[in-house]
Each structure stands twice: as C-alpha cells, then as structure tokens.
Amino acid sequence: MKEISFVCKDNFILDSKIERIEIDKNIVLKITIEPKNINRIIEREYFNLFKDSILEPAFTTFNSKNEIEITTMLDPDLKELLEMAIDDINENTILDYLVDKNKNQKNDIFLNSESWYILDVKQEEILPDFLKEKGSIKTGFNTKWLEELN
C-alpha cells in the first residue's frame, strides 16, 4: 500500500493510502484516510464534494476509530493529460507516477484534490461484541458524481 498526499485548495495537506487504482473509461483511485480528516473534507468541499453533491447527507457522521474509505475519480478532462505524461498507462504506472510526483513535485496537478471527484465515502461500523463474529457493516454516502461522471 503506497501513500500519497493531496494538496487541498487551502493548502491543507491530506495524507492518504492508495488502496486500488481502476482504469476503464475513467481513472478511479480508492484511498483511505484517517477519520479525523473527513469532516474537513466535507466542510471545505475538497475533491469537489459540494454540499449538493452528497446524495445521503444524513450519513455524513463517522466514528473516530476506523479509517475512511474514499473512492475518487480523476476529472475526465485531465485523463488525456495523464495519458500523455505516462507512456504505458496501467494501474502500476499510474501508482508509480503519483508516488514519484508526491516525493518530488507536490504541486503536480494530479496531487491537487480539486483534480478528483469523490464518488463515495464509506467506513466500517464499530459493532457490539455479540455481532462482531457475524460480519461487518459499512456506512457512508454516495455523491451525484458517481452517476454523472461515470
């Protein structure tokens, strides 16, 4: 699992771990963040997470224990630019590119939170002891970007 930091619009640095990269007609990045940062993302509308883009606003409260899972998608207008920057574009080359830029050029457009759209936010719930053996439950919300940009 690789780590990258996003530069947000107020110059806040958001540390994240890349869980997965998917490429189809869009480039999707699945990351995890510390729970302390989710309220800031929502309040300051990082990653194009505007108030009216949250489809289930009642599910924007998260516990302070478990990591937050976020699915983001690269702004479709930037996909071609990324394809020009990387010779053989695939999940591994995108990961290497982002990690390299994170080390050497933090102001790269692809490390700017506004270059990405949050599609969904999820977190595993803390269950009572008698339910832990039964499995897990994730709660969170989807955004309108999940439908509009895909």
pLDDT in tens, 104-131: 877 899 999 999 999 999 998 887 777 7
Asked if the model's pLDDT at residue 11 lies above 80, the reply is yes
Q: How far is CA 82 from the centre of its chain?
A: 17
7, β-bridge pairs: 13, 112
The predicted structure's pLDDT at residue 150: 65
The pLDDT assigned to 64 comes to 92
**Cβ atoms of 95 and 26 closer than 8 Å:** no
Range of the domain at 24: 2-148
Cα–Cα dist 73/57, whole Å: 20
* pLDDT tens by residue, 14-65: 999 999 999 988 999 999 999 999 999 999 999 999 999 999 887 888 989 9
- Structurally, the chain folds into a number of domains equal to 1
| 35 close to 68: Cβ distance less than 8 angstroms | yes
